[in-house]
Amino acid sequence: MEYTEIMIRYGELSTKGKNRKDFIGRLAGNVTKVLRDFPQVEIHPKHDRMHIVLNGAPFKQVDQHLKKVFGIQTYSPTIKTEKTLKDIEETALALMKETYHEGMTFKVNTKRSDHHFTYDTNELNLMVGDYLFDHMSNLKVEMKHPDIVLRIEVRQDAVYISDELLHGAGGMPVGTGGRAVMMLSGGIDSPVASYLALKRGVDIEMVHFYSPPYTTEKALNKAKELTGILANYAGRINFIAVPFAEIQETIKEKIPEGYLMTVQRRFMLRLADLIREKRKDLAIFNGESVGQVASQTLESMAAINDVTTTPVLRPVATMDKTEIISLAEKIGTFDLSIQPFEDCCTIFAPPRPKTKPKMDKAREYEARLDVDGLIERALDGIEVTPIYPDEKFLANKAEEDTALL
């Protein structure tokens, strides 16, 4: 059976009163973006649902993109049929034959917006139910909690039939929550934090620190490729690469070993905040998780957060590592995150960083440095790259391999 359209039910945004129009508009825009490879598809946002008319686009492929759009609660692939009993019955049977497995229960649920249609909802429920009974064996009806609800909607133009209810990504349409910078390292946690920020409707721009020649081109490309995976949820994400080697070398030279990490992190946060300000973003997100490493104790967070009053949001702050990993696996960033390329957090890592650094000491040591000059030169070197869904950056020669093999 080839589905002809998809009916989308909105998530939380249906509760958002007067902002609703914005949200629906944003969601429609985001859906348009992810479906740009299917120009034949029509998108009709309405106040209570959105209809996607496939016009021949394969549902399975569209579905791959659709399930990554935040703001969709559930959706159903449907088939449009003529308004005759015969068409309704035959389509219903064909759909059921594909979905129904031995032992499942079902019910028919009809809705009419065309009240002039020959049959009313009860009649249709009974007639279609009878037809299915006559043409399939061992069917079981269950009114309260059926496995399959066969939905028949009689509208003015046609009848729409579906029997699957698929779960969307939930959350809020990306962009409805404003825009923030995300401090992306390339490890396991920050991509998960990015996903969670996007899920709450926050559009993000990645800030990534790199330190050639201490870090390799590969580490930079890995972060970009991670951004490509996350761009599936956002349509497009700007990647801002910040050169960090000079700052790290200077800190290494002039700051006592116990505070190397704390001062480095203060510089990172300062830079992220300045970039945020310049780009008119509203907040800073990062992938810190309380107590996971020396820089992520509450003492460290306090000593580092000292450099800004901008909200610093930490979506994975209270998650266990195992929870973060399972989410990373679910969103497809884990395998890439564990590629062992050194990033700027691991080089110059002191053997015994202070887990309880003192704020005043951090400030005092930092005063030895030309903070403004270092920051300015780093900002001069930033590069912004827009990254699109599944864009690849690591030398991936899979195609050449396939040709050779």
Total residues contacting other proteins (rule CB under 8 A)?
8
Shortest reach from residue 396's CB to other proteins, in Å: 8
The answer to whether 162 and 95 have CB atoms below 8 angstroms apart is: yes
The answer to whether 245 and 267 have CB atoms below 8 angstroms apart is: no
Interface characters, 16-55, with other proteins (x: CB under 8 A): ----------------------------------------
Residue 275 CA: distances (Å) to CA of 8, 203, 232, 279, 379? 37, 15, 24, 6, 8
395 forms part of the interface with other proteins (CB under 8 A) = yes
The answer to whether 57 and 6 have CB atoms below 8 angstroms apart is: no
- Sequence-distant (≥ 6) Cβ neighbours of residue 257 within 8 angstroms: 350, 351, 352
DSSP code of 107? E
Report the first-to-last Cα separation within the chain, whole angstroms: 37
DSSP code of 47? S
Interface characters, 344-383, with other proteins (x: CB under 8 A): ----------------------------------------
HSE (side-chain half, CA atoms, 13 Å) at 50:
29
Return the number of the residue (62 or 220) whose C-beta is nearest other proteins: 220
Shortest reach from residue 249's CB to other proteins, in Å: 22
Shortest reach from residue 215's CB to other proteins, in Å: 14
The answer to whether 213 and 347 have CB atoms below 8 angstroms apart is: no
397 forms part of the interface with other proteins (CB under 8 A) = yes
405 forms part of the interface with other proteins (CB under 8 A) = yes
* Closest of 12, 11, 58 to residue 35, by C-alpha: 58
398 forms part of the interface with other proteins (CB under 8 A) = yes
Return the number of the residue (147 or 342) whose C-beta is nearest other proteins: 342
Per the annotation, binding residues are 183-184, 208-209, 265, 287, 296
Identify which range of 290-298, 305-313, 328-336, 392-400 contacts other proteins by CB under 8 A: 392-400
Identify which range of 15-23, 289-297, 318-326, 395-403 contacts other proteins by CB under 8 A: 395-403
401 forms part of the interface with other proteins (CB under 8 A) = yes
Q: Binding residues for other proteins, per CB under 8 A?
A: 395-398, 401-402, 404-405
